[in-house]
Structure formats: C-alpha cells, structure tokens
Amino acid sequence: MIQSKTKQPEYDLCVVGAGSGGIGAALAAARMGLSVLLIEKSDTLGGNAVRGGVHNWEPGVGGTSFPFEIYQRLQKIPNAVAIVRMARHCVVPQPGEPAYPGGEALPDPAATYADSMQRHSLKELSPEEKFGRSSAFRSIVFEPEAYSRVVGEMLAETGKCTILTNTAFREVRVRDGSLESLILENGEEVRASLFVDSTADAKLCQAAGCKLMRGQEARETFGEPDAPEQASSKVNAVTLIYRITQRDHAAVDPLPPDVPSECWWQARFPAWLNSGYANGDLNMNMLPTMQGEEFLDLGYPAAYAECRRRVLAHWHYLQTRPDFPEFQRYTISWIAPALGVRETVRVVGEYILTEHDILKGISRQTDPDIITLADHAMDRHGEGGGCVELREPYGVPYRCLLPKGINNLLVACRGASFSSIAASSCRLSRTMMALGHAAGVASALAKEKGATLRDVPAEALRETLRMQHAELEWPCSTHLIEYLKKTFA
C-alpha cells in the first residue's frame, strides 16, 4: 500500500525506484516473504513505462513471468492493452500509396502475447516480412494509468510491500562496504538489510561511491568489434513521446510563435514510430528528439523544455504534409511529463555484459548464472546509430547486478553492468523487469540462507526463477512450454 512515511524501523529490502526493475524486485521479494520498502521520487509507479511515455513492450524473449501476468490483468480492463503489428513503414512503400515517413504499428486482434516474444526471428526476414502489413513484428501497447494501477494492486496483494511515492533520498550511509541506511529528503532515516537500485541513473550506486562507466568505450577496452576506435562522450539519444487523439474535424493545430516551422536542430525532421492504443489513440515516438550529448550538456529541465518545443514543431510538420492529411484529424492530447532517456551512466559490476556476449548468443555462452534472456537489437539512436538485429537470444548473468564495492546492494535498471553497446540492446522494459525479478529472488535467498548477495548459489537462484516462469533457456524448457501452452490455450 502507498504510505506517506515508513511503517517500521527496518526492512529486509529497500528498493529505490519504481520503474520496471523496481517493480520486479519489490514484487519478487515481497512474494517470497521479505518486508519490502519501495521508494519512488515521482507520484506514480511505472517509471519510463508510465511517465516517459514508453507505453509499450517491444518484441523480445524473457517476458514470460511478471510481464505476462501484468498483461493478463490488463486484458480484463476495457481498452487497457493491445497487441500491435506494423501496418505501414518507410522502408516498405505500398503500391499506389505515398511512402509513409516513419513507422505505424496498429492493433492486431488475431495476435497473441506469445507473438511478442520473438524479436531475434526478425533477423532472417525480408523488409516486407519484417515491416510490411503482414509483418511478424508484434509489440504490446498499454494504457499507463491501468498499468500503474495493476502493478500497485499486485504489490499490495503481497501484504509485505510498503510504497512511498513523491519520495527521494538525499544521503546514504555506508559502513565497512555495506549500505546501512538512507536519509530521505524529509529527514526520515530508512534502514534495511539489503538494497536494490532501480533508479533511472543508478543514483543509489552513485551515492554509495560505486565505480561508473560513461559514454562509449574505446574498442580496446572490451575488444568489441563495433566500438569506436576512441572512447567518446556519446550516449544513446533521447525522445519526448507524445500522444495524439482523433477528433471529428480536420484542422492544423496552431504553432506557438516562438517555435519555428522548419527543423532547426538537424537537417530534417526525424522519422517516428506511432503505435496504436486499444482506444484508437496513437503513441508518437520520435527517433530521436535530442542527441544524448546535447541532453547531458543542457541538463534535464532545459533539455525537457527544448524537447517540448521540438515536439510541437514535429507535430506541425506532420499535420502540414500534403501527402498525409490524415494527421489533421488528430490533435495532441498528452505530452509525456518525463523524457525517454535511453542511457546515462552504467555501474561497474562483477561482470560487464559486452557485445561479445550478445554476438555469442545463449547457445555459446557458458556463464553459470544467467538470470534472463534478451534478444532486442543493438539499437543506437542518433548520430552514428544503427539497429543490428540478433540471430538468437543471449543471457544476462546475475553478476551484472552486483556492483563492485558494496556488499548488500544490487542494481536492476538500465545502469546495470553493461558496456554502452550491450546497454543499447539490454535496456528494454521487460528485460529490466526480469533483472528486478532476479534481484528480488536473490535478496530472498540471501535472507533465507544467511548468505551475502555474492554468495547466493547460482543454481538455486535459477531454479527459483524457473519455478516462477522466467525464461532461462532457449528454446524454451519443457516446464515453461507446458505453462505457456496451458495459459495460451
């Protein structure tokens, strides 16, 4: 339940950040009996998946446990969730139609959740098969308020999770390599045996003094074939997502006088992906709105203000295109209150996931502590970007969640121990929820066995995750196949 202050002097686990990773960690640990405190600086649960406008789960393996349970609950709410497929795309012009200047994914009533769990299979497809109107590309699009409500209900049902929203910490106390407590902005002290950092920028790890990685690593750092020769400050680009709603008349929304009608931040207006909600609205994801380095240079408030101006200019551009008058039948109904930030800093952990792991794929990885699978493309937005699809899924080791230097802390967010290239693939919402799931289970096992987080037995962790329907093998294990068959029947 959501509280205004803590309910007890000390918790088994404190999770900071209620995005996808934090939800996974808090839910897993609370269901296994730990007393959990979940702290969120904003006024709602969900992180980027709610406030950042990322109201979708892109295709990908690893979404068989908590994400699927959330999907099942959303299905029971009218117009709360849809499975979408590509309808029009700039690389596949349709005969007799103008080339669509972006991508369009619309609800597909015939699709199932299982169709959204196979990103790697897109690599062998032609552009027509991948992006055409009969494409294999399937995503999940959900209503943010319904999503936030559902995950709140799931956490409340455990009876073990206290949630503090509108709450941030201002100070951490560390002794002998362990986090002892957090001092909240209201002056209250929070104590816990274990901690999970699920903040967007690994802020808890930063405050605790963990070593960080920033920007692109040089090729010699990890020997990654696609890394630049020299290290750089480049980070993945930023998008401010907006939503458009149909109306009963055609019109061009007025452009504020201080916003130019021509693109001023690059050579031309960027392409975008619009994804359809169940109610007919469209989620508009510019690719991108701002380069990552510009975002870091400006700072968050100034970057958000500038991105908002660019959103209005982008929408004016779409509405005034003579070849697509359909956009005049829509109007902006919502602009995300938070930027969709894809990368800032990453924590140096006991293991750093790199491009080598991704290119090996799960069939050639030998890590004994794989805690989730992923198969999203290595997808860098902005200058020098690209989208390299994979031939098969790869595994993420538990050691990526163990920051060096702090004994009782796990990191389950996009700031986990990944190289910049690996992070471009591993940052997706369902993968983050799976990292959180593993962090929550590991915390419960550490408490049960009286072990440190580093000493949690890998096979015990993996077996518990398997029993909770996490996907750890590819192709799927017999146990998981039977669960899926029963559920999808």
Considering only residues 481 and 266, tell me which one the structure prediction assigns the higher pLDDT: 266
User: What is the domain range of residue 306?
Assistant: 238-341
pLDDT, tens digit, 9 for 90 and up, residues 213-264: 999 999 999 999 999 999 999 999 999 999 999 999 999 999 999 999 999 9
pLDDT at 10 over 60: yes
Which positions ≥6 away from 145 have C-beta within 8 Å? none
Pick 22 or 112 by higher pLDDT: 22
Assess whether 377 and 434 both reside in one domain: yes
253: exposed, middle or buried (Cβ count in 10 Å: 0-12, 13-18, 19+): middle
- Name the nearest CA neighbour of 373 among 470, 482, 485: 470
- Residues 427-445 have a mean pLDDT of 97
> Does residue 477 carry a pLDDT above 80?
no
Residue 31 and residue 124 in one domain = no
64 domain residue, yes or no: no
Q: Is the dihedral of CA 340, 342, 347, 353 positive or negative?
A: positive
3-state DSSP call for residue 443? helix
Q: Which range among 90-94, 418-422, 484-488 shows the weakest confidence by mean pLDDT?
A: 484-488
How confident is residue 44, by pLDDT bands cut at 50, 70 and 90? very high
Residue 72 maps to a domain = no
Provide mean pLDDT across the span 401-415. Answer: 97
Among 18-32, 125-139, 325-339, the range scoring the smallest mean pLDDT is 125-139
> What's the confidence (pLDDT) of residue 2?
60
Classify the C-alpha dihedral 451-452-453-457 as positive or negative: negative
Over the stretch 179-210, which tens digit does the pLDDT of each residue have?
A: 999 999 999 999 999 999 999 999 999 999 99
Check whether residue 458 and residue 403 sit in a common domain: yes
Confidence band for 131, pLDDT divided at 50, 70 and 90: confident
Is residue 429 domain-resident? Answer: yes
Residue 83 pLDDT exceeds 90:
yes
Residue 355 near residue 419 (C-beta atoms within 8 A)? yes
| pLDDT surpassing 60 at residue 211 | yes
* Whether 350 and 450 share a structural domain: yes
Q: What was the pLDDT predicted at 120?
A: 80
Please report which confidence band the pLDDT of residue 385 belongs to, taking 50, 70 and 90 as the band edges: low
Same domain, 164 and 36: yes
Residues 461 and 362 in one domain: yes
pLDDT higher than threshold 80 for residue 420: yes
Residue where a domain terminates, one of 121, 142, 163: 142
Residues 138 and 151 in one domain: no
Q: What is the per-residue pLDDT across 309-347, written as a single tens digit (0 to 9) for each? A: 999 999 999 999 999 999 999 999 999 999 999 999 999
Q: Which long-range contacts (CB under 8 A, 24 or more apart) does 104-111 make?
A: 104/273, 104/274, 104/276, 105/137, 105/139, 105/141, 105/273, 105/274, 105/275, 105/276, 106/276, 107/82, 107/83, 107/141, 107/276, 107/278, 108/83, 108/84, 108/138, 111/83, 111/84, 111/85, 111/138
Residue 71 lies in a domain: no
Mean residue pLDDT of the chain comes to 94
The reply to whether 116 and 173 lie within a common domain is no
Write down the pLDDT at residue 128: 80
| pLDDT above 90 as % of the chain | 85
pLDDT of residue 199: 97
Average pLDDT over residues 427-454: 97
Same domain, 286 and 262: yes
Tens of pLDDT along 136-153? 889 999 999 999 999 999
pLDDT of residue 388: 81
Query: In this model, does residue 50 exceed pLDDT 90?
Result: yes
Give me the number of domains the chain comprises.
3
Rounded CA separation 426/473 (Å): 17
Domain assignment present for residue 427? The answer is yes
How confident is the model over 85-106, as pLDDT tens digits?
999 999 888 888 898 989 999 9
Q: What pLDDT score was predicted for residue 72?
A: 95
Q: Looking at the domain assignment, is residue 16 inside a domain? A: yes
Residue 327 shares a structural domain with residue 439: no
Mean pLDDT over 104-117 rounds to 92
Secondary structure (3-state) at 432: helix
Q: Is the pLDDT of residue 488 over 60?
A: no
Residue 161 is predicted with a pLDDT of 98
Task: Flag whether pLDDT at 489 surpasses 80.
Answer: no
Q: Are residues 155 and 33 in the same domain?
A: yes
